[in-house]
Amino acid sequence: MSLSASVQMFLQLRNIETSDFDLDMEIVSLMKDGMIDDWDMFERLTEYTYKQRLHALAEHHPILMTECPWNTRLKREKLLELMFEKFNVPAMYICKNAVLAAYANGRSTAMVVDSGATHTSAVPVHDGYVITQGIVKSPLGGDFITMQCRQFFEEKDIELLPACLVASK
């Protein structure tokens, strides 16, 4: 199956090799429930990012990474081990994303509501610390809303085309 001209242009503008892209390819996520699930893929992606995108050596730059409030100590330790031992980062800080969201809004105490593709969460933050007992999570997120909209349009016989497949307006 060949790629449309608009998809090829999109990939070229973003410096993505079109020969490596196929409409039949499976796209998978290295994350599950907001945490790293596929460590080999994460390592390859990190290596690719440093070498091909940033053109930088990891050992010259301290790292700030965010994590979901329910991340486990084991996964955090594994991330630190990978970044220090494989990529030789000089320093690293891992911060809860809800805390950074509160700080970004000028607050050290806040109720942070985060609705992503796979879930929605409400996370209480007090003086810069997550109150883990107060976290509320729902498995409903953007993917569910998209699925419901798609189902609604199908029931109404409304055809939706991605912008990259529209020849002209």
Which domains are delineated in the chain?
A: 5-11+21-156 (3.30.420)
Predicted TM-score (pTM) of this structure: 0.74
E strands in 18-141: 31-32, 35-36, 63-67, 92-96, 110-115, 120-126, 129-130, 136-138
Instruction: Select from 54, 44, 61, 42 the least CA-distant residue to 15.
Output: 54
Mean pLDDT score across all residues of the chain: 88
pLDDT exceeds cutoff 60 at 120 = yes
pLDDT exceeds cutoff 80 at 166 = no
pLDDT-derived band of residue 155, with 50, 70 and 90 as boundaries? very high
Is residue 96 within 8 Å of 67, Cβ to Cβ? yes
pLDDT of residue 1: 41
Chain Cα centroid distance, residue 42: 11
